[in-house]
Amino acid sequence: MRQKNTSDSEKSTDLLQKEHAPRKPVPASGTRARLRKKLPVTATSVHQRNTASASVPIEHEGWSASWEDGPKPLPPQDIAWVKDDLERGIFGPVQWYTDTKGVLKKRRVLKCDRMWFYPPECPGLVGSTPPTPELFFRSRLFFWRPVGVWRYSIKCPRSDCPGRDKNTTLYRSGYSPRVRHICDINGWYYMLTEVLCCGPCLQAARREGKRHFGRYNAWDKEILKQLSEAHRAMFPAALTTARGVDKTVIQLLRDRSVGNTMSKVWRQIQENHCQEYLNRVDLYTTLLTSLSTPGGIVAAVGHQFTPPAPATETSRTQTSSPCFSAC
């Protein structure tokens, strides 16, 4: 009897200990299946993920191939910083997104807080590698986007637009493949723009089998006329059929007198362009001279330096006439 009572008391003690013991959390049924399939995170798996993400190409929103290899593209020395420079270029940081097919992709979207983009400054000293001439001949860029940056509401300029009574506004539809080369007082810069579309006009064009109306470049005169005077003054140039002239040059042409003719103004602009080009060439050759001193490493190896590109030809005097009349 004593042995039986002892065994009963031991069983009751074990039951009490089990009841008061801390219980482990039980995962849900779906979580159990995921825990079974979850693999341990190792350095190899992290490296594989990073390698997979690096292999995914980066898409650039709205980038046109004509800006690189078109009839009048951006110069090669400017494409690098315009497209890839995170601080000074036209694109923001890399973003991940999932397309309609569920594929994970990477892209960079256009910055919406500015229209002027300025290149890095010319180097003033020699680094670890010899400088290249492209670093000394980069130009600024103006990206005209009144709808994309200012959120401006612009109506269709066609008088017979089907949506005129419905107060329809234009919407963005990509970017123009054309690159405008703008002549400034002491150099050149480049201009891009967005394309604006009218939905009702495009539908009417499809019904009629035409493709000549419903799409407008934001730098067209019909679009610029709809902006306020203050916003229109922010457009920096007067455009011609081929290139364009900055408004600061137009101001010099307005102040003409008997001795200050249009030809004299353009001779002064050509002199300014030539002086700016020679200053950059002088800086480039000065840095190369410091590398090619007798007995130096570069002189001993016999490194061949790349000569600078020729200067861009300044527009002729006849180009100023349509610009002056446009302003």
pTM recorded for the entire structure: 0.78
Q: Are 116 and 144 in contact (CB under 8 A)?
A: no
CB 67 within 8 A of CB 60: no
Rg (the chain; Cα; Å): 33
pLDDT confidence of residue 290: 77
Are the CB atoms for 157 and 222 separated by under 8 Å? yes
Q: What is the signed CA dihedral for 95, 141, 62, 177, rounded to 10 degrees?
A: -160
Where do the H-state alpha helices sit in the chain? 2-20, 29-37, 43-55, 66-69, 76-84, 199-208, 221-224, 229-232, 247-254, 262-291, 297-301, 320-326
d(CA 50, CA 65): 29
Question: How deeply is 246 buried, as exposed, middle or buried, from its count of CB atoms within 10 A (0-12, 13-18, 19+)?
Answer: buried
Which sequence spans correspond to the domains of the chain? 113-326
List, as one string, the DSSP characters of 226-269: TS-HHHHTT--EEE-SS-EEEHHHHHHHHT--SSS-HHHHHHHH
Q: Using CA atoms, how far apart are residues 92 and 85, in angstroms rounded to an integer?
A: 9
Given a cut of 50, the residues of the chain with pLDDT beneath it are 1-5, 16, 31-39, 41, 43, 45-49, 297, 300-301, 317-318, 324-327
- The confidence score (pLDDT) of residue 55 equals 77
The per-residue pLDDT for 312 is 82
Quick one: pLDDT at residue 19?
53
Please give the Cα distance from 273 to 276 (Å, whole number): 5
What phi, psi does 4 have (nearest 5°)?
-65, -40
pLDDT value of position 307: 85
Residues in the chain: 327
Contacts of 300 (CB under 8 A, 6+ apart): none
pLDDT at 265: 84
* pLDDT tens column, 218-256: 999 999 999 999 999 999 999 988 789 999 988 887 766
Residue 176 and residue 192 in contact, taking contact as beta carbons nearer than 8 Å: yes
